[in-house]
Amino acid sequence: MDARRSLLIWGLLIAPAVPLPAQSVIPLIPAGYRVHGVVLDEKRAPIAQVEVRLLQNGELEQVTRTDAAGMFAFGWSRAGAATLSLKRLGYSPSAIQLDVTNASVTENIEATMKEVVRALPNVVVVEEKRRLHEFEERRHRHASGQFITGEEIMKAHPQFSSDVFRRVGGASLRRGRFGNAIRLRGCRPKLWIDGIPLRDVELDEVVDPSQIAGLEVYASTAGIPPEYMDREPRPCGVILVWTRIE
């Protein structure tokens, strides 16, 4: 992720905006520290509803979402290392490492997120108003998959979407690029979100627990709905994710 930052100390602009790598560490302040910025896509259009989390010492301190103009803002005063994490359905997650030290600073951030969800040719995308129809129909007729509702997920208070799989038979978790990587019977399952197949991404990289309305898990090829079966069925299984309608 590209991030351009300018630091304002006691009203004086002391550093021009320069490109910084996503994991660079910037010295900041504890007293009256504020950070605000904008999140753009690769065409420089603002991205609304990006979840922006502020974490310190691995614990969530604050969370907000970008507005229609892609803008967000935080204000806090506790010194120490901090992380801003950016997540949005359909985009690769990004993280910015900050080091809050001892000078009053306002920081401006411009972040670019890369789109990752793209429909493949001849894939029919499920209409938004019918997202949960398939899920509920299969759940009520006791199909062979494992079904988890959005309400059950929220009651569990998971930090990552993958945490739900700790109680799914045949599932295991390992450390991923962001959050955890899910494996069913030891290998990577096929991931579908709202009828769209995703390639080479993990669930935690694209979906937050609060966005999930329902999950279907098929740990083997048995019982997978035909429309979600690979042309060459694999023993890795399938995860179907249905998101909330916003």
**84: amino acid identity, one letter:** L
Give the model's confidence band at 215: pLDDT under 50 very low, under 70 low, under 90 confident, else very high.
Answer: very high
pLDDT tens readout for residues 113-164: 988 755 444 444 444 456 688 888 888 887 788 999 999 999 999 989 999 9
Indicate if 128-243 has the same CATH topology as 3-112.
no
Q: Where in the chain are the domains?
A: 3-112, 128-243
Q: By percentage, how much of the chain surpasses pLDDT 70?
A: 72
pLDDT at 102: 54
Q: How does pLDDT run across 167-208, given as a tens digit for each residue?
A: 898 899 998 877 899 999 888 999 988 887 877 788 888 788
- Strand spans (E) along 88-246: 94-100, 106-112, 146-149, 171-175, 180-184, 190-193, 196-198, 212-218, 238-243
Tell me: pLDDT of 7 over 50: no
Q: Which two tokens stand for residue 34?
A: 């504020």
State residue 28's pLDDT score: 42
What's the topology of domain 3-112?
Immunoglobulin-like (2.60.40)
Which H or E run contains 8?
strand 3-9
Identify the CATH assignment for 128-243 out of 1.10.10.10, 2.20.28.270, 2.170.130.10, 3.40.50.1820: 2.170.130.10
pLDDT at 60: 67
Taking 90 as the threshold, does the pLDDT of residue 46 lie above it?
Answer: yes
More confident residue, 173 or 245: 173
